[in-house]
A and B are shown apart, each in its own frame.
Chain A
Amino acid sequence: MLHQLLHSIIQSATGRLSRILATIAMGVAMLLIVLAVQLQANFQSLLNSPANKDSIANFLVIHQSSENLQRSSKGISSQTIEDLRKQDFTESIGIIESSHFKAGIESPSELFPFYTDIAFEAVADSFLDVQPEQWQWNEESRFIPLIVPNLFLDIYNFQFALSQGLPQLSTTAIQQIPLVIKIQSPAGDLRYTGRIVGFSDRIASVLVPQSFMQWANQQFGSSDNNQVSRVVLRTKDPGNPALSNYLKAHGLKTDADKTRFSKYRKIVDIVAGTAGAIGLILMLFALLVFSLFIRITIATSKADIELLLTLGLSPKALSQFLMRKFFPVQLILMGLVLILLSVCQYLISQWLATQQVILPAYPAVLTFACAAAVLLVIFLTNRQSIRNYVHKHVQQ
């Protein structure tokens, strides 16, 4: 009964329009702040969720930039490699070893004749994106398995074969072609059998097993040149701006496609950060608006509030009534904002799933925690405004 009567007294003192406008302002500010948090959470999920990880993108082949190569031909120094190993973005580093002997490959088939001089490279197996069954070698073996870039096959099939009138080959077909690998040694050419056993998207080089490379360099190597021209870097996040900044600062380069994402990420970081900052500013503004609304409500009801206190209504009861008048509206508003956000998140995650992008179907726990924190701030602001003003009237 008391609350109903108090409601009639206070309600009639403030206009409906001003109440609606203040409520809308608060709702928009709440939406913006939880949206900013959810955007950050979604972005983190897109970056770090295993479902969205690209195994190729996590391995970067790093070499010196062409400008640096012109100035020096020493490759990547061991000091640089050690420094790179210490960086936060580095998970592990694989050194790509080059062959220090002369070699050539020819086809024994008259149907498919070719001969070319060639150099090989090798890297630890854990850095390869393919692990064919035949990818093994020992000193007794006369067979050398090869992994070539997928790009080579594309160039052959779509460029070379067409222009030379040669047949186009499937990956299965090309793996059937026997090759003769000739290695020059002080004792004359040594002949080995070879075959392509796999295709790599990660490393653009003709690869041989690391065990063979180490043995062959030792056996036939023409120099003690141990310079490293390329390394494979395994990283959690190739889009990490710190990684691309580091490479740039040290005159190193990698596949632009993989690190280009760092530029997008910087942009998204700025956008998400700006949205968060704007959300925060709007939230503070909305708190100010609502605090002013409470003050105006009390000010416009000043005579009524004074009379209520005169009649014996306790300031505590009046404060409780005013809190109950304002806070439930804000609570419901935040509930509606969270429902709206959840629906949007669900619909967006469903749509993105059709684009092979996996996003959580529901808002992050952090978003709900943020909503609770915002409600707490609103509650405290309300209480302070009401206490200040009711107390002021009591003193009058």
Chain B
Amino acid sequence: MRRITKMAGVLLAAWGGMSAAVAQDTPENFLERQLTIVVPYGPGGLTDARGRAFQANMEDIIGVPVVVQNVSGGGALVGINFTYSRPSDGQHVVIASGSDGPHAHSVLSPSGLGWDWEDWTPIGQFARSVLGFVAPEDSEWDSLQEMIDQVKEEPGSITLASLGPGRADDLYMLEFMQATDTLGKWNWVFYSSSGNAQADLLTGDLDVAYIGVSRNDMIDHPNFQVLAQGLKEEEKPADWPFPWPTVESVVGQELDLIGASYATVFAKADTPAERIEYLEHAFEQTANDPDFIKMRDEFGEPALWRDQETAQENLDQMHELLKEYLPLRDEHLE
């Protein structure tokens, strides 16, 4: 089998790679048997696909197999709890997005947790979680601004869906509504997945949905139009494939939460520093691997790498902002 021959090759590569790595003064590979990437959702879907991309490309770099373990439930919280219950030896990491990582759950969880945000450390960030306002192609309104004007004039006349509740997305929407002075004016409902919301944009139940848009087929889609993407104007890369205006540019002001969301690899904070350092090195190498980049591009989520320090700064900031916006959520949601 391909797997067995690959395993033998990998063992050899591991031995060779380890000696080479030591020689080049890279952090020491501590992984002996495997690296487990915990995906806090079931198979299929966005987060699973992110984990699988590492599974397919990382083995050659770390010299041991990568196992994706789907631990689902509680909007990613069960998978995060599971990772927290493992020893702090760096052999289990968890992948989450800006909406549902430990930095968010430590603020949003309706029940007490056995850990806090300080108990986690990012290894790095490898993709932008880009959500956007999507409307049907034949929508009455041609831009997000028209919709904003409409709900101001006639509150409750537009049904808006976002993913949730219980995710940071609730607060993204509140930030957007606050910035546009439309708090309480949208007919706001929640959907559990982008797919379901897309289906109801077609059935006419929804007028607009704030859902995942970083898929190549969303460009010139015959059924949908993306009115705005949740990406910070200043962070938009020159070669960014998606042509839609940013939410910031529509709203005409800088937003704190919307657009600051990245897919992140997390480990427990008390993992030995040299192991964190090695994991960062290994994930960075993979994120820069041409095969990985190709795979991510084809999926529609361009690969990137933001190091541990940058990631920490981004998530600390998100964590504080989420705390700040929480009272607003309690006020506006049941």
Mutual binders A and B = no
